[in-house]
Structure 1
Amino acid sequence: MIDYRALTALAAVVRSGGFEPAAQELCITQSAVSQRIKGLENRLGQPVLVRQTPPIATELGQRLISHLHMVQHLEKDLTLVNPQVDRVHARIAINADSIATWFPEAIGKITDEMDVDIVIADQDKGIELMRRGEVLACLCADGSAVNGARVDRLGIVRYRAYASPDFILRHKLLETPENLYQAPCLQFNEDDTLQHQLLASMSQPAPMNPIRCPSSEGFLQMAANGCGFGMIPEMQAAIGIASGNLIDIAPNNAIDIPLYWHTWRSGGSAMKRLRASVIKSAHRWLEQDR
C-alpha cells in the first residue's frame, strides 16, 4: 500500500525546493517531512530523492509524484478535494519550439485550476517520459499510443533552413550551396537532428561546425544575427522573414514534423479540458493533413 502522506511530502520538497519550505507548506515539522520520505525509501528499498540543493526526485521519485498528481485529479472529479485550497498538479513534456510559438495559447486559463510543471523535451524524447510514467501528458513526434493513454494527431510543424543575408554572403552559399555542410550550423541540443536530416536530403554530409544553442528564442536570434544557419519553424521565422533578417536557404527542402498529444485516459476532467484546448490551438496554428 502506498503511503500518500509520504508522497505528498516528497512532492512538496521537490516543488518548494527544500525540506524546510515543504514543512511550512504542509504545516508539519521538517523532521516529520524527512521521516516520511525516509520511511518511503525504506519501504521501496531505493532512493526517491537526490539530496542536493535544491533536492530533485529520482526517476522512481518522479514516477511516484506523477502517480500522486493523477490521484489528485481523480479525487477532484469526485469532489474529494477543496478547490479553494487543494490545487491539482500536472507535469507535462513539451518541446521548446512549441513553447516559443503556439502552445502557450493552448495552456490558456487552465492554470486557473491547476499547477502546470513544464518539462522541456525534444519532440522525439517526450514519449520516453510518458512511457516511464514521469509526466501526465506529452507533446511529441511519436504517434505510437502508450498503454493506458490516448493519442491525438495535432498537425505538422514545417521547419525550413534559415540564415541571415550576411551569413549567406560570407559563406558564399549562393555560389556553392553544395558546401552548406561546411558552414556553422545551429543545433538546439544533442537530440536535435533536423539539420542532419536537411543535409542528408541535399546529399550532403553531417554538419562540420555545429553550434549548440539550447534556447528556441536564442536560436532564432543567433540565426538572424549571422551566427549560423538553423532549422526553424515557419511560424516562428515569419517576423524575421518579413523584416529581411532571415532567408530560406533551401526552399525545396522543408522538413515536416508531425506532432501528437499523449495523455493518460484516467487523467481527470482538468486534463480532458487541457486536451481539448491543445487540439483547438493546434488546429489553429499547425499545418493540417490534406
Structure 2
Amino acid sequence: MLDYDALRCLSEVLRYGGFERGAQALSLTQSAVSQKIKRLEHRVGGPVLVRTKPLNPTPLGRELLTHFQKVSVLEEALNIQSGLQASASPISVAVNNDVLATWFSQVLAEFSQTRSNPIHVYNADQTQTRDKLQKGQVMACISQTGTPITGGQSVRLGVMNYQLYASPIFIERYLKEKQTPQSIMNSPGLLYDEYDVTLLGDYQRECFNLPPFFANCHWYPSSHGFVKMAIDGVAWALLPSLQVINEVKNGELVSLFPDKCLGVPLFWHWTSLDSGALTDLTLAVKRVAKAQLQ
C-alpha cells in the first residue's frame, strides 16, 4: 500500500519548488520530509524526484502525483457525503498570461462564492498548458488545443481576439505616414517570451501574409509591463483586445489595423474526477468565458 503521508510530502515539495518551503507548508522539518520521500522511493522502487533547482518529478513521480491529486479530491467528496468535516483540497490549474490578465480573476471570484478550495494557478503559454495537464502537474487548464487528454474532458470556450496596438507617440516617431505591415514589422515590437513567437508568427502569416519576423522585438515577460511598454511608446504590441479596452478609449493606444484580427480559440480541459469543486470551477469558467469571449 502506498504511503499517503509521503505522497503529500512529494506533492508539497514539488508545489513549492524545494524541500525547505515544502516542509514549511507541511509544518514539518526538512529532514523529516526528506526521509519520508526517501522511504517512498524505496517502496516504489525508483526515484520520484530529479533534484534540480527547481525540483522536478521523474516519470514515476508524475504518475504518483497524479494519483495523489485524484485521491485527495475523491477523499474530500467522500467526507462531505459521509457528513465528516473535510478540508478543502487545492485545485491546480494551468492558465496562460493573457487570460490571467483579463478574465480569469472573475472565475475565481465566482468560484469563491460557493467553494473554499484554494486554486493554485500555474502560468504557462496556451500552447504548453495542456502538456502540464497531460503530465499530471495540474488538474485542469486553458489551452488552444481542443483534443482532450486520455482520462479527461474538454469544452470550447470561445475565441480571444488579438490586434496590433501602438501609442500615438510611437506612431509619430516611427511610422508617420508609412503605416504598412512592412514598416511596422521593421520598427520596434514586443515579445513576451520564446513561446510568444508562435502567436506573433501566426498573426503575421494570417493577417499580413508575411513570413514570421522578430528581429526588432524587445522581450518583456510581464502582462502589465507589456501594455505599459506600448503606452510609453517603446514598441508596438500584439495584445488581446479585452485587455486594452480602456486604453483605446482614452487614446493611450491605437489599433494599427482595426480590420486585421487574429482569433485564438480557447478550450477548458479537466481530468474526469467525481469532484464537486472541480465541477463548480468548470461551470464558473464556462459562464465567465461566455460573457467575455466571442
Common fold, TM-score beyond 0.5? yes
> What is the CA deviation profile of residues 183-230 of structure 1, one whole-angstrom value per residue up to 9, with x for unaligned ones?
111111111122222222313341321111111111111111111111
Match of 2:187 in 1: 183
Match of 2:130 in 1: 127
Distance in structure 2 (CA, Å) of the matches to 1:26 and 1:164:
49
Q: Which amino acid aligns with 2:105?
A: P
Is the CA contact 1:70–1:267 (under 8 Å) kept in the aligned structure 2?
no
Q: Which amino acid aligns with 1:4?
A: Y
Is the CA contact 2:88–2:116 (under 8 Å) kept in the aligned structure 1?
yes
Give structure 1 regions of 4+ aligned residues with deviation exceeding 6 angstroms: 80-83
Query: Aligned residues: percent identity?
Result: 33
**Deviating more after overlay: 75-84 vs 182-191:** 75-84
Q: Aligned pair in 2 of structure 1 residues 247, 36: CA closer, same or farther (>3 Å)?
A: same
Aligned residues: 285
Distance in structure 2 (CA, Å) of the matches to 1:136 and 1:21:
22
Is the CA contact 2:153–2:271 (under 8 Å) kept in the aligned structure 1?
yes
Q: Tell me, what secondary structure is at the counterpart of 1:237?
A: helix
Q: Aligned pair in 2 of structure 1 residues 28, 82: CA closer, same or farther (>3 Å)?
A: farther
Of residues 196, 202, 213, the one that matches 1:197 is 202
Q: CA RMSD in A?
A: 2.5
**Deviating more after overlay: 101-110 vs 248-257:** 101-110
Q: Which amino acid aligns with 2:178?
A: E
Distance in structure 1 (CA, Å) of the matches to 2:76 and 2:225:
39
| TM superposition shift of 1:82 | 8.9
Distance in structure 2 (CA, Å) of the matches to 1:189 and 1:24:
32
Q: Which amino acid aligns with 1:128?
A: D
**Deviating more after overlay: 55-64 vs 245-254:** 55-64
| TM superposition shift of 1:84 | 5.7
TM-score between both structures, scaled by the size of structure 2: 0.87
Q: Aligned pair in 2 of structure 1 residues 142, 174: CA closer, same or farther (>3 Å)?
A: farther
Q: Which amino acid aligns with 2:57?
A: T
Of residues 244, 260, 263, the one that matches 2:270 is 263
Match of 1:227 in 2: 234
| TM superposition shift of 1:251 | 1.8
Distance in structure 1 (CA, Å) of the matches to 2:106 and 2:147:
25
Distance in structure 2 (CA, Å) of the matches to 1:122 and 1:30:
33
Is the CA contact 1:66–1:91 (under 8 Å) kept in the aligned structure 2?
no
- Structure 1 unaligned runs (5+)? none
Q: Aligned pair in 2 of structure 1 residues 33, 259: CA closer, same or farther (>3 Å)?
A: same
Distance in structure 1 (CA, Å) of the matches to 2:273 and 2:263:
31
Match of 1:209 in 2: 216
Match of 2:96 in 1: 95
Q: Given the alignment of the two structures, is residue 56 of structure 1 paired with residue 19 of structure 2, yes or no?
A: no
Match of 1:154 in 2: 157
Match of 2:78 in 1: 78
Q: Aligned pair in 2 of structure 1 residues 25, 140: CA closer, same or farther (>3 Å)?
A: closer
Match of 1:67 in 2: 67
Match of 1:40 in 2: 40
Is the CA contact 1:94–1:120 (under 8 Å) kept in the aligned structure 2?
yes
Q: Which amino acid aligns with 1:89?
A: P
| TM superposition shift of 1:249 | 0.7
Q: Tell me, what secondary structure is at the counterpart of 2:141?
A: strand
Q: Which amino acid aligns with 1:101?
A: T
Q: Aligned pair in 2 of structure 1 residues 17, 132: CA closer, same or farther (>3 Å)?
A: closer
Q: Aligned pair in 2 of structure 1 residues 183, 44: CA closer, same or farther (>3 Å)?
A: farther
Q: Tell me, what secondary structure is at the counterpart of 1:159?
A: strand
Distance in structure 1 (CA, Å) of the matches to 2:84 and 2:165:
47
Is the CA contact 1:154–1:260 (under 8 Å) kept in the aligned structure 2?
yes
**Deviating more after overlay: 23-32 vs 5-14:** 23-32
